Structure 1
């Protein structure tokens, strides 16, 4: 499997993460009041250590907002990300497992908020969960074909890609909400890192049929493109993490930023590891410095 193509890009992403870690703890930056909003790819379910505010959000104290807050030296930092959140949960409460609810995430935005990261979209219309719950089952029937793509294609229309168009509209409203509640803030829309490799397969870790790997990449690229388009239409800056995560997909072994289906890893299945959170934080830092990694 050729998982290491474009090694220079992977090295650049790791270098960015390393530079972030090396920033002096007392460094001061332009931002003083940081708010992080998002879903599980922001929250970091099962990454040690998990916060309990509330436990149902499965939010890690080592996710990328926590890394950024420390290294940017902000005066105040609020992380309202919550696993399972979709774009509606910016303005509506989110019901949590085992009871209770999480308040609308955008409620914490204030006029003095000057830096916001938003990582949403993958849970709208259950986009990611439909892939992760359906594709492994279909692989058992047809391991070398593309049964998942065929399952979601109806009358020649890829229904998941069609759903992405609706998600773009949702995100425009979400980003507009953030900008209206925090008009002074620099707002960054954070894309999703790569889950599947560009080439090759690792069915023991990522149990998709061989032909569905490329399709999963296509769906994820479409989602990231929708995030970028919605961001551009609302004056929000898009941060690409998909390109910089080349070589850090779930098949990449010790270099992986994202877990596959492993149940006893230090990350939820199909979610970022702590190393992925460090990598994403490094990409965001590079973006803020104007050094966009592609």
Structure 2
């Protein structure tokens, strides 16, 4: 019985942290979107829009499967599709893929059902708009998952381990990812010098305060710690966008109050057992539409 109980907890936290941490979290302080520098127009029957990103971009299970490989779990109502339907470019290509890291932008990605070519292959000299939602998977939280689950509401096992000795491992990993994101942005500009580029941040997953244990079995200490640490991820993305001639779509601020602890009719991000079609702890269709609204406000029509 003890072994079965521990195994169940381990599986649960893998799902929790994969959703919360593997794909990003929200900023710890208010931020604002910034428009991309001027470039070729996209919309109204002109231009080529290319969407790059991970599962917060591909939006598994929120709609009908779009494109191949099937293993990328790319939905036809994710924020790139919603943006494309609104601005109406002459050409639209969505190559986002669940589980993608910055490495999968320049190299192929194997999935459980097919291989996604290097996402940057879709970016050509004819491209006039690129959205990029990436970075969370590079930080590599999944291996740390078993240490985060707790049966104690006020515990902080992850913080205790990850800051032992005075070195913050998560902060280090986020810092290490910055140069990778910057290099991707430089490569996009090289391949599509006339394109406007928008880095899309991650939306709010958990609320301010102590969270909603035991529905999400993270102790209050770890909720506060992870919120602050993962706020760094969005901070880093915004900084890299500014340094590499890209705009930044802040999806965290508008999604506050729509987190996993809110009602099923309000939330943008689903919980462990989704009440609306979505992957656990990922944006639902409402959330993807909300993210699209931020991007649309930056790129116009």
Range into which the TM-score falls when normalised by the shorter chain: 0.7 to 0.9
Partners of 2:231 and 2:73 lie apart in 1 by: 26
Q: Which has the higher contact order (CA 8 A, sep 6+)?
A: 2
CA distances 1:177-206 after superposition (whole Å, capped 9, x unpaired): 111111110000000011110124322442
Instruction: State the match for 1:255 in structure 2.
Output: 266
* Equivalent position SS for 2:126: coil
Q: Which residue in the other structure is 1:87 paired with? A: 102
Q: Deviations over 1:219-266 (max 9, x none)?
A: 221000111111111111111111221111111222111122226751
Aligned positions of 1:8-157 closer than 5 A: 29=44, 32-98=47-113, 100-127=114-141, 129-130=142-143, 133-134=145-146, 137=149, 139-140=150-151, 142-157=152-167
Q: State which of 203, 208, 224 in structure 2 corresponds to 1:214.
A: 224
> Offset of 1:158 from its aligned partner?
1.5
- In the TM superposition, residue 157 of structure 1 has moved relative to its aligned partner by 1.5
- Relative to the length of structure 1, the TM-score reads 0.82
Q: Structure 1: where are the runs of 5+ without partners?
A: 1-8, 10-26, 290-294
Q: For structure 1, which segment, 191-200 or 30-39, has the greater mean C-alpha deviation from structure 2 after superposition?
A: 30-39
2:176 to 159, 166, 182: 166
Q: How does 1:231-242 map to 2 (within 5 A)?
A: 231-242=241-252
Cα distance in 2 for partners of 1:29, 1:219 equals 40
Cα 1:247/1:130, change in 2 over 3 Å: farther
Aligned length: 260
- In the TM superposition, residue 42 of structure 1 has moved relative to its aligned partner by 0.2
Distance 1:124 1:35, change over 3 A: same
Q: Secondary structure at the match of 2:97?
A: coil
CA distance in 2, matches of 1:256, 1:135: 27
Moved more, 34-43 or 51-60: 51-60
CA shift in 2, pair 1:119/1:31, >3 Å: farther
Deviation, 1:152, is 1.7
Partner of 1:269: 280
- Structure 2, unaligned runs of 5 or more: 1-29, 31-41
Provide Cα deviations, 1:64-117, integer angstroms capped at 9, x if missing partner.
Answer: 00000000011110000000000011111111125x421100001111110110
Q: Secondary structure at the match of 1:220?
A: helix
8 Å Cα contact 1:239-1:287 kept in structure 2 = yes
Q: CA deviation at 1:207?
A: 2.2
Q: Give me the TM-score of the superposition, normalised by structure 2.
A: 0.81
1:151 Cα deviation after fit = 2.3
Match of 2:213 among 159, 178, 203: 203
Task: Mark the CA change 1:155 to 1:200 in structure 2 (over 3 Å): closer, same or farther.
Answer: closer
Provide the secondary structure at the position in 2 that maps to 1:255.
coil
